[in-house]
A and B are shown apart, each in its own frame.
Chain A
Amino acid sequence: MTDKNTTLERPVSKLASSLSHIASDLGKNGIFLALIAVVVLFQILTDGILLRPQNISNLIVQNGYILILAIGMVMVIVAGHIDLSVGSVAAFIGAVSGVLIRDAGFDWWIAIIVSLIIGALVGAWQGFWIAYVGIPAFIVTLAGMLIFRGLALVVLGNTNIGSFPEGYRALGNGFLTDLFGEFDVDPFTLGIGVIAIIAFVVQQLRTRAGRKSYAQEVEPIGWFIGKLVLVSVAIFAISWALASFKGIPVTLIILAVLVLVYGIVTNRSVFGRHIYAIGGNRHAAELSGVKTKKVDFFIFVNMGFLAALAGLVFTARLNLAGPKAGDGFELEAISAAFIGGAAVQGGVGTIGGAIIGGLIIGVLNNGMSILGIGIEWQQTVKGLVLLLAVAFDVFNKRRAGGR
């Protein structure tokens, strides 16, 4: 650390620091390695069906709404709360959008905007009770789970609403493709993939340069380049797969935008920092001038908004708003956040982790379905994975000394 190191010690300490950096990186990205392991496992078990272009596309579209929920859920959990109502809210908003389009004759895009606003209002309702009245989130959202499931039934009048306009359906079913004509492998999709790679590399380089200019420690150059190459190859492979099927799913675009925006919000915005501060030590945050009630409130407004978005995507995908929609979504979203490394006591968790956690659940669902494993065993396996993931986390922390 100090510049008094003699020249003899230097190379040794540099190598050691490189190794320790890689080790800590691997430790932090253990969840990412777990995802790769699960993918490889099912790729072998399913004789290569898992990673076929069509299945990759399916994986994204089928899990989109869970991933959207997981983004909001991880923020809720980091702040030390929980939200059990998101499945019911998703169903409720799906139903509302159906009624707006079919009965009220709204244009589909106006219906979407209105639905999202209603979602945010639902979140504000729950946030009010949690933040300003001081009722634990578990209770408020348990009540919300019943209330909004009930309201979904009320809105639907106990029937299904089906056949949505094409623009609306695109949220869950649409693909961006063939803008340059029809090819076996769509050049537009590949182009987006390449742009994504370039954007990623440029952003990484800029971050590294920024850290260097502030004389911060940066990761070893070899490891850095290795990671860049690895991620670029993965993005290209996925875009190739999508390009040779139907193109980029609209759901993926929504997700990409959300991950980007919420990644920045949680990491770089004052609001995001306050969420972590509250989750880490509510008293200390309060005494540092953080307006804890306001932050709590907006976390739930945001969760309501994202639950509404998930509800719309799900409804669009099924082309049906039904009373049973969204059943059990809350549990999958919560599992995703915890598998992705969020701490039960709050203060810890990332958007990226939650997405990877959601993908692990998605691959498990998809892989086991391909293998023809019954729903009973799928449930059991998913439960065990959640338990083991959190147990692993607890064990890791204890070994690290913790507190």
Chain B
Amino acid sequence: MTTNILEMRSITKTFPGVKALQDVTLEVARGEIHAICGENGAGKSTLMKVLSGVYPHGTYEGDIVFENETVEFRDIRDSEAKGIVIIHQELALSPYLSIAENIFLNNEVKGPLGLIDWNRSNQEAAKLLARVGLRENPTTKVMDIGVGKQQLVEIAKALSKEVKLLILDEPTAALNDEDSAHLLDLMLHLKEQGITSIIISHKLNEIKKISDTVTVIRDGKTIETIAKADVTEERIIKDMVGRDLEHRYPDHTPHIGEEILRVENWTAHHPQDPSRVIVDNVNINVRRGEIVGIAGLMGAGRTEFAMSLFGRSYGSRISGKVFKNGAEIKTRTVSEAIENGLAYATEDRKTYGLNLIEDIKRNISMASLGKLVRGGLVNDNEEFKVANEYRTSMNIKAPTVLAKTGKLSGGNQQKVVLSKWIYSDPDVLILDEPTRGIDVGAKYEIYTIINRLAAAGKGIIVISSELPELLGICDRIYALSEGTITGELPIAEANPESLIKLMTMEKPS
């Protein structure tokens, strides 16, 4: 084996109340492609942020040894100066600048007077583009090329900085098959040129295809590092999910009734690029008192499906039919969806769920102000009373309902969001990542609330990227991959392995 280019030794990173990384060790050999696997929230991105200096030296414990030298990065510039470049999932390119301008941003090719030498810039950029196999004019604006090509521009940018260790965070999540294949070939090609890469990915087939070594991380800990010869999908999956599932979920005895909601042939396209199918002919149904899970990896189209269903809040060229209690309903606007008994609690509370500068009371009443109107005016005493009832029944920890929601903890914010939707008295609730960013105790409370809603005869759809959560609370689980439902499992037949297989299944072309 060659010498290691990078060793991260006993890295521990703590956020207030959460140990994100615990004694993590990562050894990357020079010239290899090293894959890091793990569920969402396992700590992969945190580890990479520690490595690249986003979390500066001193905010974590442990040592980073790069090229046999202990390094202490204060910020991203420090790590880039050493030749470590990270390419994030969300690309960091300026859409209005040209490819060449982006490649040399903050690293400009200058002439004798300190002015930018455009001719040489474009010439150098063209050489780099040739290296990554991108046939585009360097003066083309980045906004005019697709995501796949933008990814290549990012890599060209990394090459311009004389990269020694290239880190790609879920590089193919947003790419189509062709672009993905090209990107993976490019990685192998760069390996031949002596560049070491770390790839973070969920896609097991990709990992098997290109990586020399795989490290699996779970719950902030290194589980094991597997050499290429020993890598099997089964082994990775087992490492990724193997944890104690007992006692994290309240008991739930389903009383399942008639079908309450059915979605037929639901299709939605990307809002900016209407030729891209994001949700592809989805058919699902939910019965009274049933908790139905939708499992899917990031980018599978889970949120996009829910939001396009809920008043066309996402997407373009949306088609399909929705039936409630057997009769077709329309959900063309959010208010129409609410009137027809749908509710959608977003995965991103702070951006889409709450008015953070407003109090608990006004957030709870937001979706159903009409119910509080007496004689044309909102009865604020009644509003106070209602909010107070929810504060008690949902156990929202705040001194009064006049507390601003921005000051509450994640769990209590989520309870406010749920209160808002329960008060709107829906028949079907779609809960998107209902426990994201919430501590364990509050999670249990949220699960209890979900059970209570199901027991009251409502239909519940839970979208989650945490498989144990879905397995712990659902009665039936759909798997979504690349916008299509790839399978449906009753809870008795569902297990992490079977679900991951469905979730990573590629679209039949």
- Interface residues, chain A, with chain B CB atoms under 8 Å away: 1, 210-211, 213-214, 216-217, 264, 267-270, 273-274, 276-277, 280-281, 283-291, 343, 347-348, 401, 403
Q: How far is the CA of A348 from the CA of B404 in the complex (A)?
A: 13
Contact B370 A287 (CB under 8 A): no
A267–B380 Cα distance when bound, in Å, is 9
Contact bitstring B341-363, A, C-beta under 8 A = 1, else 0? 00010100001111111100010
- In the complex, which of the residues B337, B358, B380 contacts A268, with contact meaning CB atoms closer than 8 Å? B380
State in angstroms the CA–CA spacing of A161 and B479 once bound together.
74
Per CB-CB distance, the 8 closest pairs between chain A and chain B, nearest first, are A280-B355, A289-B335, A288-B367, A268-B377, A214-B381, A288-B366, A281-B355, A289-B338
B344, B356, B357, B370 — most chain A CB neighbours (10 Å): B357
B406 at the interface (CB under 8 A from A): yes
Enumerate chain A residues within 8 angstroms of B120, measured Cβ to Cβ.
none
Interface membership of B500, Cβ < 8 A: no
Listed residue (B351, B365, B380, B385) with the most chain A CB atoms within 10 angstroms of its CB: B380
Assess the A347–B357 pair: CB atoms within 8 A.
Answer: yes
A280: which B residues are within 8 A, CB to CB? Answer: 355-358
Which residues of the partner chain B approach A286 to less than 8 Å between Cβ atoms?
Answer: 313, 334
Q: Is B384 a contact of A214 with CB atoms below 8 Å?
A: yes
Please, how many angstroms separate the alpha-carbon atoms of A213 and B379 in the complex? 13
Contact B378 A268 (CB under 8 A): yes
Minimum CB–CB distance for A210 against chain B, Å: 5
Find out whether the CB atom of B407 lies under 8 angstroms from the CB atom of A401. yes
B 311-342 binary contact with A (CB < 8 Å = 1; else 0): 10100000000000000000001110110000
B70 within 8 A of A: no
Chain B interface extent, by class: 35 or more
Q: Whole-angstrom distance between the alpha carbons of A270 and B344 in the complex?
A: 21
User: Which residues of A have CB within 8 Å of B384?
Assistant: 211, 214, 216
Among B313, B333, B376, the residue within 8 A (CB) of A269 is: B376
Question: B351, B353, B381: which has the most chain A beta carbons within 10 Å?
Answer: B381
A1-B400, A286-B334, A289-B334 known; A403+B367 contact, CB < 8 A: no
From residue A164, how far is it (CB to closest CB) to chain B in Å? Answer: 36
CB neighbours of A210 from chain B (8 A): 381
21 contacts between A and B (CB under 8 A): A1-B400, A211-B384, A268-B377, A268-B380, A269-B376, A270-B370, A270-B373, A277-B366, A280-B357, A281-B354, A283-B351, A286-B313, A287-B311, A287-B344, A287-B352, A288-B420, A289-B311, A289-B335, A289-B367, A290-B334, A347-B357
- Which residue of B is nearest A211, CB measured? B381
Q: B310 on the interface (CB 8 Å rule)?
A: yes
Closest chain A residue to B376, Cβ basis: A269
Known contacts A283-B351, A284-B354, A288-B366; is A213 also within 8 Å of B407 by CB?
no
User: Which residue of chain B lies nearest to A216 when distances are taken between CB atoms in the complex?
Assistant: B384
Shortest CB distance A24–B (Å)? 10
List of B residues within 8 angstroms of A264 by Cβ = 377
B369 at the interface (CB under 8 A from A): yes
Interface residues of B in 368-425 (CB under 8 A from A): 369-370, 373, 376-378, 380-382, 384-385, 399-400, 406-407, 420
Contacts of B399 in A (CB 8 A): 1
Query: Is B358 in contact with A347, judged by CB distance below 8 angstroms?
Result: yes
Residues of B within 8 A of A1 (CB): 399-400
7 new A-B contacts, CB < 8 A, other than A268-B380, A284-B353, A286-B313, are A273-B369, A273-B378, A276-B358, A280-B356, A285-B355, A289-B337, A403-B356
Q: Are A287 and B358 in contact (CB under 8 A)?
A: no
Once bound together, how far apart are the Cα atoms of A285 and B407, in whole Å?
A: 19
**Cα distance, A317 to B335, chains bound together (Å):** 46
| Cβ contact within 8 Å between B358 and A277 | yes
Q: Which residue of A lies closest to B344 (CB)?
A: A287
With a 10 A CB-CB cut-off, give which of A1, A269, A283, A403 has the most chain B CB atoms: A283
Interface of chain B, main secondary structure: helix
Contact residues in A for B370 (Cβ distance below 8 Å): 270
A212 CB to closest chain B CB (Å) equals 10
Whole-angstrom distance between the alpha carbons of A270 and B334 in the complex? 17
Which of chain B's residues have a CB closer than 8 A to the CB of A287?
310-311, 313, 334, 344, 346, 352-353
> What separation, in Å, do the CA atoms of A343 and B357 have in the docked complex?
11
Hey, which chain B residues are within 8 Å of A274, CB to CB? Answer: 369
Contact A283 B352 (CB under 8 A): yes
Contacting B406 at CB < 8 Å: which of A267, A291, A403?
A403
Q: Which residues of B contact A343 (CB under 8 A)?
A: 357
A216 to chain B, nearest CB (A): 5
Known: A277-B358, A403-B406. A270 touches B335 (CB 8 A): no
Distance of A288 Cα from B377 Cα, bound (Å): 19
Bound-state CA distance A276–B420 (Å) is: 17
**A261, chain B: closest CB distance, angstroms:** 12
Partner among A281, A285, A401 whose Cβ is within 8 Å of the Cβ of B356: A281
Name the residue in A211, A214, A348 with the highest tally of chain B Cβ atoms < 10 Å from its Cβ.
A214
Docked complex Cα distance between A205 and B262 (Å) = 53
Closest chain-A Cβ to B463's Cβ sits at a distance in Å of 15
Give chain B residues whose Cβ lies under 8 Å from the Cβ of A270.
369-370, 373, 378
- Given the complex, which residues of B lie within 8 Å of A284, measured CB to CB? 351-355, 366
Q: How far is the CA of A280 from the CA of B359 in the complex (A)?
A: 11
Q: Which residues of chain B have C-beta atoms less than 8 A from A290's C-beta?
A: 334-335, 366
Residue on A nearest B402 in the bound complex, by CB: A217
Closest to B313 in A: A287
Select B335's contact among A217, A267, A277, A291, beta carbons within 8 Å.
Answer: A291
In whole Å, how far is A275's beta carbon from the nearest beta carbon of chain B? Answer: 12
Measured in the bound complex, the distance between the Cα atoms of B365 and A196 in whole Å is 33
Q: Which A residues are CB-close (under 8 A) to B351?
A: 281, 283-284
A214: nearest chain-B partner, CB-CB = B381
Q: Write the nearest CB–CB distance from B461 to chain A, whole angstroms.
A: 16
CA of A214 to CA of B355 in the docked complex: distance in angstroms?
25
Cα-based distance from A217 to B384 in the complex (angstroms): 11
Interface centre among B355, B378, B385 (most CB of A within 10 A): B355
**Chain A residues with CB below 8 A from B354, complex form:** 281, 284
Cα A267 to Cα B382 with chains together (Å): 14
Q: Which residues of A have CB within 8 Å of B333?
A: 289, 291
Q: Are B334 and A288 in contact (CB under 8 A)?
A: yes
Q: Mark B464-475, 1 if CB is under 8 A from A, else 0.
A: 000000000000
Residues of B within 8 A of A347 (CB): 355, 357-358
Interface centre among A211, A213, A274, A403 (most CB of B within 10 A): A403
Mark interface residues in B242-282 (1 if CB within 8 Å of A CB, else 0).
Answer: 00000000000000000000000000000000000000000
B362 touching A273, Cβ below 8 Å: yes
Chain B residues 4-50 with CB under 8 Å of chain A are none
Q: How far is the CA of A348 from the CA of B333 in the complex (A)?
A: 27
Q: How far is the CA of A348 from the CA of B362 in the complex (A)?
A: 13
| Minimum distance in angstroms from A346 CB to a CB of chain B | 9
Q: Closest approach, in angstroms, between the C-beta of A262 and any C-beta of chain B?
A: 13
Complex Cα distance A1/B391, Å? 13
User: Complex: how many Å from CA A210 to CA B381?
Assistant: 7
> Please, which residues of chain A bring their CB within 8 A of the CB of B313?
286-287
Contacts of B338 in A (CB 8 A): 289
CA distance A269 to B376 in the complex (A): 7
Which residues on A sit within 8 Å (CB–CB) of B310?
Answer: 287
Check A217/B367 contact, CB under 8 A, given A269-B376, A273-B362, A287-B346. no
Q: Which chain B positions have C-beta within 8 A of A403?
A: 356, 406
A171 to B13, CA, bound (A): 69
Instruction: Closest A residue to B380 by CB, please name it.
Output: A268
Chain A residue at minimum C-beta to C-beta distance from B334: A289
Docked complex Cα distance between A286 and B335 (Å): 9
Whole-angstrom CA separation of A281 from B351 in the bound complex: 8
B432 to chain A, nearest CB (A): 11
- Judging by beta carbons under 8 Å apart, are A214 and B378 in contact? no
* Complex CA–CA separation, A268 to B365 (angstroms): 13
Distance of A287 Cα from B381 Cα, bound (Å): 25
User: Are A214 and B385 in contact, with the CB atoms below 8 A?
Assistant: yes
Which has the most chain A C-beta neighbours within 10 Å: B351, B353, B366, B406? B366
Chain A residues lying within 8 Å of B380, measured Cβ to Cβ, are 267-268
Q: Are B352 and A276 in contact (CB under 8 A)?
A: no
